[in-house]
């Protein structure tokens, strides 16, 4: 999605939404890789029901990765895609549904962005090839040996990842084989439904997923407490997840790690860019080059918990004294709508709004004022109240001039800071800072064996002499040159020197700044903006209102697209730039209606988004229309185009000024070449249907097999029984791609074998249908149960989230903190050493940081004089209260017992709330786990689902006939308070759980909380 820096802003302001995934890795035994058993309970302490894959976010990094060598051929790409899906599946482990959605034909509003991306990619590819050729020729002229030039046919054109291309057709066949393979062999896939929505099904991948969820939520058999997990890296997935109003929605994505090394495109080495390549041989690191820095870095995954984001928004968006009832679901919808103004895939962001400048926070404040004044929310189930938007835009327009001036001031401060940093970090010829010592005292590579300094005094003397001589010679030469360049009549030693060459850093800083003709920080900025960007007269006020009206229409289209589905397949914003907020006048009077239309066919979309350089992916007669000078649509395919930086610094941030495609002209030109398509090309040009896969043993398997045995009517639509498919509704149609039971599944790849004895069945699947004017309500279902709260009562968003010094990522998990701590033999000796002579009492040495700082009493001083401390007195006061609670005669062997070895049959999800048992839905028992044949145990007893300590011990944590042996046998039980089961001193292999500050906690327990609890 076109929202730069949105996720960075979100994760810094609401840090607790991010959780690192716990992942089990496959093992290698005797050279054979043993895959992860995904039928076992999830190691993240939460069981998901449905997993949705936005496949384009998987296909692109697998086909042309950035941080590792590219696959050699197409087969390696397919295998990489399979392995990526396996990894996501092993982390999430869905128990009901796996939905794989590939981008199909998109609406016209999105096709404009796709067209810009593909033209950019083609242009950048040509420029990179020319640059590599130029550098190669220069190196060859110098006699440098360079790697052989890569054949042109081996270059992978990423534009082929577009609906309608032969590559996407082959990918669909490979995924068809992959699903059959996993259903027949992987126990974790055995009882789930799998839906594949390939590129022939119209719609973007993430919006096909959202449409599926909306339609299933309106099904009476839908489980309102379904746990959803969506895999994708686009920022709009966060807002789409909030728009579902599902209480249990999580997003999984790769953790972004900046500044990762990338290999040079010419020599393949890391450490330099293409422009700085010298063709030098690879430097040996280590005696046998064993210390070479690996290029392949295994990415890690994170969870984004939208239920925690909902908690943050509930606290931040609270509004008191409203003249109407407060509704959190409506407020969240309005927040999503506010985010559209800072950018999306369909509209350019307003010039006065930048996320890095706190644009969303500003909009939230304006929104609160508008709600108070207008007496109502801004949106309602995908429809916008434009009169309330008008008030927000009016208030924003009044601050635009101040915003532009402040932006320029901050930019000048940033440039000055960067200039000073370059001066401080001025480098020598050897690419090291000037203050770096040389000779024997200089830094050495870690791969070099250390050697002692020989004659250190002589070495230091030579370093001082060489430094002083070089400085003196430099200064004397500089003074002689400057004296020759100063005019004779300039006797006051002025700094104005004629003919003096500019310094290198000054020249680079001036040349790197792009030219800005608009200058928004100066008076007259609005007139200049429309003159430069839109090529209209400065006094054409009517045109400004026309652009603003089109933008408002786009906002309504985007919101409806998020909440109700595509309102129009033909609508698009017909300008490259957005209007100003102050140009939104009388928008409440606009009457906005959309014509539904119909999507393009796959090959037609290729002609609308591809440049002429990618015509090899379209049929040959159609490709000629892109390059023939006499073609009636040749103007749609410019070989060169301008990129307007629009106030940015880099080309990738600019706007590609491409002509908009006229749909009627395009379709008319294609009419003359339709009859030249082959049968295979005609098959790729039709709209397809989703496919549903299940295997034998599933409750609905016999039903689908019976459909094929009953007849061969390939158009008959049959309603599904939701009770057979985990509450999922819809209709099914017989599919010609079906592979009947016990037949062999043919592999489309040479590297993978055929699959004999097929046990899976496939049908075409259609989502539940509703009347044309049906409105999907944007509300939480009545039977939905919110998961337990994660944030503390006083915990809110990070106020100063833009200050890096104040930012700290909280270490939180999907469930209560369950790490174990223990003491080794040395720890026990230290503990015994600090005990007093009385065996029934401890010494007075406090734990670290017990009093808000470092150890109050140094180790040598052993603290204040002997005597009962305040903590010991508090223990003594609770002696009688605990006398009947513990048995004083514990067996010595119980000191090191690991609790929780016999979990009770409870269902829990920690921060995710009580887990819904799937035993009845799956038709079989859970697999054996940790020696128990019971379902996954809870961390809490049946009657206590809180995340803190209770007055008694959780029954699921301690064995029934074994009282907690956390305390040594020779310590009287009455020393511990009744309501504080935790001990100040951890014993071996005992759990250290988080505490919410329960009743009766002493200062030591709060100290323990500060050491072992992270928020």
Question: Any residues with CB less than 8 A from the CB of 47 and at least 6 apart, and which?
Answer: 41, 93, 95, 227, 909, 915, 918, 936
967 dihedral zone (left: phi>0; alpha: psi -120 to 50; beta) = beta
pLDDT band at 884 (very low <50, low <70, confident <90, very high): very low
pLDDT band at 920 (very low <50, low <70, confident <90, very high): very low
Going from the C-alpha of 533 to that of each of 201, 555, 659, the distances in angstroms are 37, 21, 14
Give dist(CA 58, CA 649) in Å, integer: 29
Is the torsion defined by CA of 334, 335, 340, 344 positive or negative?
A: negative
pLDDT higher than threshold 90 for residue 68 = no
User: Are 550 and 583 a contacting pair, CB within 8 Å?
Assistant: no
Give dist(CA 125, CA 130) in Å, integer: 9
User: Are 371 and 319 a contacting pair, CB within 8 Å?
Assistant: yes
pLDDT higher than threshold 80 for residue 492 = no
| 125 closest CA partner among 64, 216, 175 | 64
Give 3-state DSSP helix, strand, coil % of the chain, rounded to 5.
Answer: 40, 10, 55
What is the predicted pLDDT for the residue at 187? Answer: 94
Q: How far apart are the first and last CA of the chain?
A: 30
pLDDT band at 137 (very low <50, low <70, confident <90, very high): confident
Give dist(CA 306, CA 239) in Å, integer: 9
Average pLDDT over residues 489-511: 47
What is the predicted pLDDT for the residue at 370? Answer: 93
pTM of the predicted model as reported, rounded to 2 decimal places = 0.74
What is the predicted pLDDT for the residue at 1009? Answer: 37
Q: What is the DSSP letter of 908?
A: -
What is the predicted pLDDT for the residue at 605? Answer: 95
654-668, pLDDT tens digit by residue? Answer: 889 999 999 999 999
Average pLDDT over residues 509-529: 79
301-310, pLDDT tens digit by residue? Answer: 999 999 999 9
3-state SS, 512-530, equals HCCCCCCCCCCCCHHHHHH
Q: Which of 190-204, 237-251, 748-762, 806-820 has the lowest mean pLDDT?
A: 806-820
Average pLDDT over residues 80-87: 96
Going from the C-alpha of 407 to that of each of 403, 519, 580, the distances in angstroms are 6, 11, 16
| 300 closest CA partner among 256, 338, 337, 352 | 256
Average pLDDT over residues 282-288: 56
What is the predicted pLDDT for the residue at 157? Answer: 86
Give dist(CA 116, CA 658) in Å, integer: 7
> Measured over all CA atoms, what is the biggest interatomic distance in the chain, rounded to whole angstroms?
108
Of 214 and 895, the structure prediction assigns the larger pLDDT to 214
| 340 closest CA partner among 244, 247, 240 | 240
Question: Any residues with CB less than 8 A from the CB of 2 and at least 6 apart, and which?
Answer: 113, 343, 344, 345, 349
835-859, pLDDT tens digit by residue? Answer: 655 444 444 444 444 434 434 333 3
Give dist(CA 614, CA 629) in Å, integer: 17
| Length of the chain as a residue count | 1015
pLDDT band at 276 (very low <50, low <70, confident <90, very high): confident
Give strand ranges (E) for 847-889: none
Q: How high is the mean pLDDT of the chain?
A: 77
Of 679 and 832, the structure prediction assigns the larger pLDDT to 679
Give dist(CA 414, CA 418) in Å, integer: 6
What is the predicted pLDDT for the residue at 997? Answer: 38
Inter-axis angle of helices 602-609 and 108-141, to 10 degrees? 50
Give the Cβ contact number of residue 103 at 10 Å. 27
pLDDT higher than threshold 90 for residue 980 = no
9-36, pLDDT tens digit by residue? Answer: 999 999 999 999 999 988 888 888 888 9
| 901 closest CA partner among 925, 924, 931, 926 | 931
891-907, pLDDT tens digit by residue? Answer: 333 333 333 333 333 33
User: Are 193 and 49 a contacting pair, CB within 8 Å?
Assistant: no
The three-point CA angle 553-197-716 to 5° equals 105
């Amino acid at each position: 999605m076109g929202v730069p820096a949105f996720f960075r802003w979100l994760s810094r302001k609401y840090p607790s939404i991010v959780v690192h995934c716990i992942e089990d890795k496959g093992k290698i035994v005797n050279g054979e890789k043993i895959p992860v058993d995904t039928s076992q309970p999830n190691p993240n302490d939460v069981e998901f029901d449905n997993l949705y894959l936005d496949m384009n976010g998987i296909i692109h990094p697998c086909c042309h990765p950035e941080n590792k060598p590219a696959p050699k051929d197409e087969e390696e790409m397919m295998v990489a895609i399979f392995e990526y899906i396996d990894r996501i599946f092993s982390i999430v482990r869905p128990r009901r549904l796996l939905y794989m959605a590939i981008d199909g034909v998109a609406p016209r509003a999105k096709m404009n962005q796709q067209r810009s991306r593909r033209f950019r990619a083609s242009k950048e590819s040509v420029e990179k090839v020319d640059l590599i050729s130029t550098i190669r020729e220069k190196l060859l002229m110098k006699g440098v040996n360079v790697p052989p030039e890569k054949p042109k046919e081996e270059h992978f054109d990423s534009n082929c990842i577009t609906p309608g291309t032969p590559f996407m057709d082959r990918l669909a066949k490979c995924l068809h084989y992959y699903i059959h393979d996993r259903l027949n062999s992987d126990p974790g896939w055995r009882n789930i439904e799998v839906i594949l929505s390939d590129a022939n099904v119209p719609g973007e991948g993430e919006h096909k997923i959202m449409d599926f969820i909306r339609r299933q939520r309106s099904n009476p058999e839908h489980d309102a407490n379904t746990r959803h997990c969506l895999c994708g890296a686009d920022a709009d997935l966060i807002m789409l997840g909030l728009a579902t109003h599902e209480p249990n929605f999580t997003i999984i994505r790769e953790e972004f790690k900046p500044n990762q090394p990338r290999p040079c495109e010419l020599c393949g080495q890391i450490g330099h860019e293409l422009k700085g390549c010298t063709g030098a041989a690879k430097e040996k690191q280590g005696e046998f080059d064993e210390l070479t820095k690996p290029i392949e870095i295994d990415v890690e995954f994170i969870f984004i918990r939208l239920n925690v984001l909902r908690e943050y928004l509930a606290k931040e968006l609270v509004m008191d004294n409203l003249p109407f009832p407060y509704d959190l679901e409506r407020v969240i919808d309005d927040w999503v709508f506010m985010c559209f103004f800072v950018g999306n895939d369909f509209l350019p962001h307003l010039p006065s709004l930048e996320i890095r400048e706190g644009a969303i926070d500003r909009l939230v404040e304006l929104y609160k004022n508008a709600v108070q004044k207008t007496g109502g929310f801004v949106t309602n189930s995908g429809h916008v109240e434009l009169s309330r938007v008008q008030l927000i835009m009016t208030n924003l327009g009044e601050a635009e001039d101040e915003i532009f001036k402040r932006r320029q001031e901050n930019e000048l401060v940033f440039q000055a800071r960067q200039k000073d940093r370059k001066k401080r970090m001025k480098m020598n010829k050897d690419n090291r800072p000037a203050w770096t010592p040389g000779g024997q005292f200089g830094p050495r590579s870690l791969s070099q064996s250390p050697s002692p300094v020989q004659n250190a005094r002589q070495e230091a003397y030579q370093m001082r002499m060489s430094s002083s001589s070089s400085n003196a010679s430099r200064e004397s030469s500089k003074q002689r040159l400057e004296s020759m360049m100063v005019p004779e009549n300039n006797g006051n030693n002025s700094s104005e020197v004629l003919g003096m060459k500019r310094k290198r850093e000054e020249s680079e800083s001036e040349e790197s700044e792009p030219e800005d003709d608009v200058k928004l920080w100066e008076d007259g900025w609005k007139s200049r903006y429309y003159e430069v960007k839109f090529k209209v007269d400065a006094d054409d006020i009517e045109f400004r209102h026309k652009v603003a009206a089109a933008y408002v229409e786009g906002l309504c289209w985007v919101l409806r697209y998020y909440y109700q589905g595509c309102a129009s397949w033909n609508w698009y914003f017909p300008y490259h730039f957005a209007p100003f907020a102050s140009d939104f006048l009388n928008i409440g009077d606009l009457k906005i209606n959309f014509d539904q239309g119909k999507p393009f066919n796959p090959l037609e979309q290729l002609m609308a988004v591809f440049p002429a350089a990618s015509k090899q992916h379209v049929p040959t007669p159609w490709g000629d229309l892109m390059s023939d000078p006499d073609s009636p649509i040749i103007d749609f395919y410019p070989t060169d185009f301008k990129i307007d930086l629009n106030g940015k610094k880099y080309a990738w941030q600019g706007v590609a000024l491409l002509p908009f495609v006229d749909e009627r002209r395009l379709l008319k030109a294609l009419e003359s070449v339709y009859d030249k398509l082959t049968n295979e090309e005609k098959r790729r040009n039709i709209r397809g249907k989703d496919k549903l896969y299940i295997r034998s043993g599933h409750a609905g398997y016999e039903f689908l097999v019976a459909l094929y045995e009953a007849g061969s009517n390939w158009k008959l639509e049959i309603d599904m029984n939701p009770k057979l498919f985990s509450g999922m509704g819809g209709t099914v149609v017989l599919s010609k791609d079906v592979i009947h039971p016990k037949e062999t599944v043919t592999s489309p790849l040479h590297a993978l074998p055929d699959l004999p004895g097929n046990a899976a069945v496939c049908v075409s699947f259609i989502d539940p249908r509703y009347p044309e004017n049906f409105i999907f309500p944007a509300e939480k279902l009545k039977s939905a149960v919110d998961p337990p709260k994660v944030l503390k009562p006083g915990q809110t968003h990070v106020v100063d989230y833009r200050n890096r010094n104040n930012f700290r990522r909280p270490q939180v998990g999907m469930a209560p903190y369950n790490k174990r701590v223990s003491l080794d033999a040395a720890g026990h000796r230290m503990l015994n050493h600090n005990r007093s002579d009385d065996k029934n009492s401890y010494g007075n040495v406090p734990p670290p940081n017990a009093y808000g700082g470092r150890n109050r009493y140094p180790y040598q001083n052993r603290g204040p004089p002997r005597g009962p401390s305040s903590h010991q007195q508090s223990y003594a006061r609770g002696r009688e209260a605990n006398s009947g609670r513990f048995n004083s005669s514990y067996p010595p062997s119980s000191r090191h017992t690991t609790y929780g070895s016999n979990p009770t049959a409870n269902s829990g999800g920690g921060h995710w709330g009580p887990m819904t048992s799937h035993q009845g839905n799956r038709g079989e028992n859970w697999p054996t786990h940790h020696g128990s044949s019971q379902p996954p145990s809870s961390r809490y007893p049946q009657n206590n689902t809180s995340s803190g300590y209770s007055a008694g011990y959780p029954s699921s944590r301690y064995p029934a006939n074994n009282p907690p042996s956390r305390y040594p046998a020779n310590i009287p039980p009455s020393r511990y308070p009744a309501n504080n089961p935790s001990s100040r001193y951890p014993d071996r292999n005992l759990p250290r759980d988080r505490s919410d500050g329960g009743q009766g906690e002493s200062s030591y327990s709060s100290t323990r909380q500060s050491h072992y609890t992270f928020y």
